[in-house]
Amino acid sequence: MADQTFRLPDLGEGLTEAQLVSWRVEEGAHVEVNEPLCDVETAKAVVVIPSPFAGTIQKLHARPGESVAVGSPLVTISGQGAAAPVEPQAAEGVEATPGTLVGYGPGAGPQAGIRRRARVAPPAQQAGDDVRAAPFVRQLAKEKGVDLARLTGSGPDGRITRADVEASASGATAPTPAAATTSTDGERRISVVGIRKAIARQMVRSVSTIPQFTEFAIFDATALMATRERQKASGQSMTPLPYFIQAMTKAVRAFPMMNSSWDESRDEIIVKEPINVGIAVNTSQGLLVPVLRGADQLDLVTIAAKSARLIEGARAGTLKPGEMTGGTITVTNVGASGPVETGTPIISPPECCVVAFGAIKPRPMVVDGKVVARPGAWISISVDHRIVDGALATEFLSKLVAELETLSA
């Protein structure tokens, strides 16, 4: 018998570290090749790590909630022989995704791939919005009849983990939090990993490498609201977001420099042909930006259907990593969740522009020399000043306003 230590592999996403969400095995247990070992959270998804060895678990090298660097020991297994290729197995809520674990070689092909959890969000009444738990944890709680609102999470920032749910279901004691510590003076420190760490790095990159400025405007939403009512009457009800996206793609077609990026290595501007709109979505795990590809080639109804699916998938955690990359310009509807007038959005590198829409509500406007109440909203755009000057930004914003004010079904 020989001890073999399995190290956290590169999951093919430029990963440098991941957060251990939960173990599926325990020390002293027997594990077969390709049997799930643990769940880890990367910057984009929760991933199930399978075992490359068969044998007995000798040591688990990390605790749930801890950050594990790629190449660091994950688990030590006592068994016979060398590592075997990982064969995909059907597992609870998991689907295969092509990829290669480091150490198995590219020849292993898709069957060496790890599997991403197809996380399904349970009905809202199963757990309130104030409960911090990943969708797959909510699903597990639903299956085991555990009320998440009654649990105290042991994960980062009080997040409820798989181990918390299983402990509650079995009547055992929940694990001790590993990623958050409280000092004697009342300060609480939270380990920042996974999606939150990726957001932090992206924002630092944005403000430290992109000289950006913001411009503002108010548009008259009378035509937009009238068009919505007509389409609602015809059985096609939709939020303002699809109208924003369609108007934005038309403005980008008129001013293509807004759909570009700066190549720092060659000091060149890259103007993108496809308009892939990133949609900023607030989720329980942080801000995610799924991408609506070829938005300028879609009609309004298709934009509405595809954007709704992306938003729902982002919140449920069911999107593939490829659905959250490749954006060329981003839209954020800051007025969707409250009476927010406007803001100064931060560009998502390497894009050139981000557009924010505020809440649509009655506003005093001058029409034919008289002040009347009309629905309206603020728009703000932040742009990369290396690519776009103030005059071009103003022209783009004016075009966007014109498109929104002349909508028709």
**CATH number, domain containing residue 82:** 2.40.50.100
The verdict on 99 and 141 lying in the same domain is no
Kindly report which listed range (35-39, 105-109, 350-354) carries the lowest average pLDDT score: 105-109
Rounded distance between C-alpha atoms, residue 324 and residue 396, angstroms: 26
Cβ contacts of 146 within 8 Å, gap of 6 or more: 140, 165, 168, 169
Sign of the CA dihedral with 97 first, then 10, 160, and 170 last: positive
Is residue 280 domain-shared with residue 163, that is, in the same domain? no
Give catalytic residue positions.
385
Q: What is the band of 367 on the pLDDT scale with cuts at 50, 70, 90?
A: very high
**Are the CB atoms for 213 and 390 separated by under 8 Å?**
yes
Q: Give the mean pLDDT of 1-17.
A: 78
Regarding whether 349 and 221 lie in a shared domain, the answer is yes
Answer yes or no: are the C-beta atoms of 396 and 352 closer than 8 Å: no
Average pLDDT, stretch 291-303?
96
Which tens digits make up the pLDDT trace of 136-193? 677 778 878 888 888 887 665 566 876 678 778 877 554 444 455 566 677 887 767 6
Strand locations in 248-324 (E): 260-263, 268-271, 277-279, 281-283, 286-288, 291-292
Other CB atoms within 10 A of residue 297 CB: 11
Q: For residue 31, give every residue at least 6 positions away whose Cβ sits within 8 Å of its Cβ, in sequence order, or none.
A: 25, 37, 51, 53, 54, 55, 56, 57, 77
Residues 164 and 242 in one domain: no
When pLDDT is cut at 50, 70 and 90, the band that residue 103 belongs to is very low
**Which CA distances in Å does 156 have to 176, 185, 192, 360, 396?**
11, 20, 8, 36, 42
CATH of the domain at 145: 4.10.320.10
Calpha distance 135→121 (Å, rounded)? 5
Distance of CA 338 to the CA centre of its chain: 21
364 contacts 218 by C-beta, under 8 angstroms: no
Classify burial at 327, counting beta carbons within 10 Å of its beta carbon; exposed 0-12, middle 13-18, buried 19 or more.
Answer: buried
246 shares a domain with 372:
yes
Residue 261 confidence (pLDDT) above 60? yes
The pLDDT of residue 311? 93
Q: Are residues 164 and 79 in the same domain?
A: no
State how far the Cα of 146 lies from the Cα of 325, in Å rounded to an integer: 35
- The pLDDT mean for the chain works out to 81
The string of DSSP letters for 306-328 reads HHHHHHHHHHHT---GGGGS--S
Burial call 329-342: b when 16+ CB within 10 Å, e when fewer = bbbbbbbbeeeeeb
Residue range(s) defining the domain that contains residue 138: 124-178
Q: If pLDDT is split at 50, 70 and 90, which confidence band does 37 have?
A: very high
- Pair type for strands 329-333 and 353-357: parallel
User: What per-residue confidence (pLDDT) applies to 341?
Assistant: 87
pTM score of the predicted model: 0.64
Residue 192 placed within a domain: no
Q: Are residues 133 and 17 in the same domain?
A: no
Domains held by the chain: number: 3
Q: pLDDT, tens digit, for every residue of 334-353? A: 887 777 788 899 999 999 99
Between residues 286 and 357, which one has the greater pLDDT? 357
109 and 134 inside one domain: no
Q: Give the number of other CB atoms < 10 A from CB of residue 14.
A: 9
